[in-house]
Amino acid sequence: MYADVLVEYGAKALDRKFTYIIPERLSNSIKVGIKVIVPFGNTTINGFVINIKNKTENENLKEIIDIPKQNFILNEELLKLGNFIKENTLCSLISAYQCMLPTSMKVKTIKSNYQKYDEYLCLVSRKDALNYIENNKRASKQLELLNKLLITDKILKKEYSNIVVNKLLDLNLIKIIKENKYRINKPNVLFKSLTLTKEQKDAVDCVKNSFNKSDIFLLYGITGSGKTEVYMNLIEEVVNNGKEAIMLVPEISLTTQIVNRFYERFGAKVAIFHSSLSEGEKYDEYHKILNGDVKIVVGTRSAIFVPFQNIGLIILDEEQSSNYKQDNNPRYHAKDIAIERAKYHKCPVLLGSATPSLESMARGLKGVYKLLTLTKRIGDATLPEISIVDMQSEYQKGNMIISDLLDKEIKERLLKKEQVIIFLNRRGFNTIITCKNCGYTFKCPNCDITLTYHKSSNHLRCHYCGYTLLNTDICPTCKEKALSNLGLGTEKLEEELNKKYNAKIIRMDIDTTSKKGSQEEMIKNIEDGNADIIVGTQMISKGFDFPNVSLVGIINADESLNIPDFRSGERTFELLTQTSGRAGRKNLKGKVIIQTFNPENKTISFVQNADYNALFNYEMGIRKCLKYPPYYYLTLIKIASKDYELASKEATKVFKFLNNKLSDTIILGPTTASMFKFNNIYRFQIILKYKNYEKIKDTLIELDEAYKVNTHVFIEIDNNPSRI
Ligand code: ADP
Ligand code: ZN
H-type alpha helices, 348-403:
358-366, 391-396
CA of 229 to the centre of ligand 1 (A): 6
Probe ligand 1: pick from 196, 228, 262, 375, max atoms within 8 Å of CB?
228
> What residues contact 649, with CB distance under 8 A and at least 6 apart?
none
CA of 615 to the centre of ligand 1 (A): 25
CA of 680 to the centre of ligand 2 (A): 8
Q: Are residues 587 and 661 located together in one domain of the fold?
A: no
Domain for residue 435, yes or no? Answer: no
> What pLDDT does residue 105 have?
53
Pick the residue whose CA is nearest to atom 5 on ligand 1: 226
CA distance 440 to 480: 11
CA of 504 to the centre of ligand 1 (A): 27
Average pLDDT over residues 259-278: 86
Tell me the per-residue pLDDT of 466-523, one tens digit each, with 9 for 90 and over.
Answer: 889 999 989 998 998 988 888 899 999 999 999 999 999 999 998 888 887 888 899 9
Which-ligand-closest: CA of 445? 2
From the alpha carbon of 231, which atom of ligand 1 is closest? 6
From the alpha carbon of 195, which atom of ligand 1 is closest? 23
* Burial grade of 675 (CB within 10 A; 0-12, 13-18, 19 or more): middle
Pick the residue whose CA is nearest to atom 20 on ligand 1: 226
Q: Are residues 153 and 228 located together in one domain of the fold?
A: no
Q: Are residues 560 and 653 located together in one domain of the fold?
A: no
Domain end: 105, 136, 160, which one? Answer: 105
From the alpha carbon of 317, which atom of ligand 1 is closest? 2
> What pLDDT does residue 358 have?
96
> What residues contact 604, with CB distance under 8 A and at least 6 apart?
388, 557, 561, 572, 576, 594, 596, 598
Counting DSSP H helices and E strands in the chain, the numbers are 21, 29
Q: Are residues 554 and 516 located together in one domain of the fold?
A: yes
Domain for residue 164, yes or no? Answer: yes
CA of 664 to the centre of ligand 1 (A): 48
> What pLDDT does residue 111 have?
46
Domain for residue 652, yes or no? Answer: yes
Q: Are residues 27 and 95 located together in one domain of the fold?
A: yes
Average pLDDT over residues 391-411: 95
Contact present, 596 and 557 (Cβ < 8 Å): yes
Q: Which uninterrupted H or E stretch holds 130?
A: helix 126-135
Q: Are residues 227 and 312 located together in one domain of the fold?
A: yes
CA of 450 to the centre of ligand 2 (A): 9
Counting residues of the chain whose pLDDT is more than 70, the rounded percentage is 94
CA of 228 to the centre of ligand 1 (A): 7
Q: Are residues 122 and 142 located together in one domain of the fold?
A: yes
Q: Are residues 410 and 540 located together in one domain of the fold?
A: yes
Domain for residue 440, yes or no? Answer: no
Task: Please provide the DSSP assignment of 474-510 as one string.
Answer: S-TTT--S-EEEES--HHHHHHHHHHH--S-EEEESH
Domain for residue 710, yes or no? Answer: yes
Probe ligand 1: pick from 545, 548, 549, 587, max atoms within 8 Å of CB?
545
Q: Are residues 420 and 303 located together in one domain of the fold?
A: no
Measured in degrees and rounded to the nearest 5, phi and psi for residue 435 equal -100, 125
CA of 376 to the centre of ligand 1 (A): 11
> What pLDDT does residue 531 have?
96
> What pLDDT does residue 674 have?
76
Q: Are residues 122 and 229 located together in one domain of the fold?
A: no
Pick the residue whose CA is nearest to atom 17 on ligand 1: 226
> What pLDDT does residue 701 have?
93
Which residue range forms the structural domain that includes residue 137? 117-180
* Burial grade of 645 (CB within 10 A; 0-12, 13-18, 19 or more): exposed
Pick the residue whose CA is nearest to atom 18 on ligand 1: 226
From the alpha carbon of 581, which atom of ligand 1 is closest? 4
Is the pLDDT score of 103 beyond 70? no
Candidate from 182-196, 601-615, 672-686 with smallest mean pLDDT: 182-196
Can you give the CATH number for the domain in which 502 is found?
A: 3.40.50.300
> What pLDDT does residue 187 have?
63
Average pLDDT over residues 27-44: 88
- Average pLDDT across the chain, whole number: 89
Can you give the CATH number for the domain in which 703 is found?
A: 3.30.70.600
- For residue 158, name the pLDDT band (cuts at 50, 70, 90): confident
> What pLDDT does residue 669 have?
85
Is the pLDDT score of 14 beyond 70? no
From the alpha carbon of 261, which atom of ligand 1 is closest? 16
SS (H, E, C) 553-615: EECCHHHHCCCCCCCHHHHHHHHHHHHHCCCCCCCCCCEEEEEECCCCCHHHHHHHCCCHHHH
Contact present, 525 and 506 (Cβ < 8 Å): yes
CA distance 245 to 313: 5
Counting residues of the chain whose pLDDT is more than 90, the rounded percentage is 56
Contact present, 598 and 604 (Cβ < 8 Å): yes
From the alpha carbon of 200, which atom of ligand 1 is closest? 23
Tell me the per-residue pLDDT of 239-267, one tens digit each, with 9 for 90 and over.
Answer: 999 999 999 999 876 667 788 889 889 98
Is the pLDDT score of 91 beyond 70? yes
Among 266, 253, 261, which residue's Cα sits nearest to residue 229?
261
CA of 431 to the centre of ligand 2 (A): 14
Average pLDDT over residues 426-435: 88
Which-ligand-closest: CA of 460? 2
Domain for residue 78, yes or no? Answer: yes
Domain end: 334, 355, 374, which one? Answer: 374
Average pLDDT over residues 163-189: 79
Can you give the CATH number for the domain in which 54 is found?
A: 3.40.1440.60
Q: Are residues 240 and 327 located together in one domain of the fold?
A: yes
- For residue 220, name the pLDDT band (cuts at 50, 70, 90): very high
- For residue 582, name the pLDDT band (cuts at 50, 70, 90): very high
Give the C-alpha distances (Å, rounded to integers) separating 341 from 32, 250, 345, 348, 368: 20, 19, 6, 10, 18
- For residue 560, name the pLDDT band (cuts at 50, 70, 90): confident
> What pLDDT does residue 110 have?
44
In this structure, the chain runs to a length of: 724
- For residue 107, name the pLDDT band (cuts at 50, 70, 90): very low
Tell me the per-residue pLDDT of 599-619, one tens digit each, with 9 for 90 and over.
Answer: 999 999 999 999 999 999 999
Say how many domains are in the chain.
Answer: 5
CA 343 from chain centre, in angstroms, equals: 23
Average pLDDT over residues 610-632: 95
CA distance 571 to 558: 12
- For residue 589, name the pLDDT band (cuts at 50, 70, 90): very high
> What pLDDT does residue 368 have?
97
Return the higher-pLDDT residue of 671 and 111.
671
Among 328, 320, 349, which residue's Cα sits nearest to residue 337?
349
Pick the residue whose CA is nearest to atom 10 on ligand 1: 224
Q: Are residues 244 and 303 located together in one domain of the fold?
A: yes
Probe ligand 1: pick from 193, 199, 229, 249, max atoms within 8 Å of CB?
229
Give the C-alpha distances (Å, rounded to integers) separating 27 from 65, 66, 67, 75, 260: 12, 11, 11, 18, 46
Domain for residue 247, yes or no? Answer: yes
Average pLDDT over residues 216-235: 95
CA distance 218 to 362: 11
CA of 633 to the centre of ligand 1 (A): 36
Domain for residue 459, yes or no? Answer: no
Measured in degrees and rounded to the nearest 5, phi and psi for residue 645 equal -60, -45
**CB-defined site of ligand 1, < 6 Å:** 194-197, 200, 221, 223-229, 378, 545, 585
CA of 461 to the centre of ligand 2 (A): 8
